[in-house]
Amino acid sequence: MMYNQINDGQGAYNMDTIRSRPPKRQLVREVYGDDVYEYYPLGEYIVAAPGVCGGRPTFKYTRLEVSTILALIAAGESLQQITQAYALSRLTPDAVKEAVRLADQALMRSVQMVPAAA
């Protein structure tokens, strides 16, 4: 594997692409229940909604912050424990996996990859 590529088990990514700025997001407006819900999609399940939690990333249609779930994972909670604990928020395993993947991509963009000394 080359130093400028990573593989997350679902495919290889070019580090130059990951490090580059994310594409400018388009504001989406939907009617959810009786309210207009405005958000910037960060993924299929994760959004940044200006009027929700100060615009910090949340799971779509909830006030559940992604950072809360990532902290639970870091504390050793299992995917099953987390999704059961947040079942009322309709949190799915796929949504949690997306949160981890997006956090990984953000971390990779924030650092420069340095090849190991030979």
Which of these, 15, 38, 32, lies nearest to 90 by C-alpha position? 32
pLDDT bucket at 10, cuts 50 / 70 / 90: very low
**10-13 contacts, C-beta under 8 A, 24 or more apart:** none
pTM above 0.85, yes or no: no
β-partners of residue 35 are: 32
* DSSP codes joined into one string, 17-85: HHHSPPPPPPPEEEEETTEEEEEEESSSSEEE-TTSGGG-EEETTS--BHHHHHHHHHTT--HHHHHHH
- Domains recognised in the chain with CATH numbers: 5-110 (1.10.10.10)
pLDDT bucket at 25, cuts 50 / 70 / 90: confident
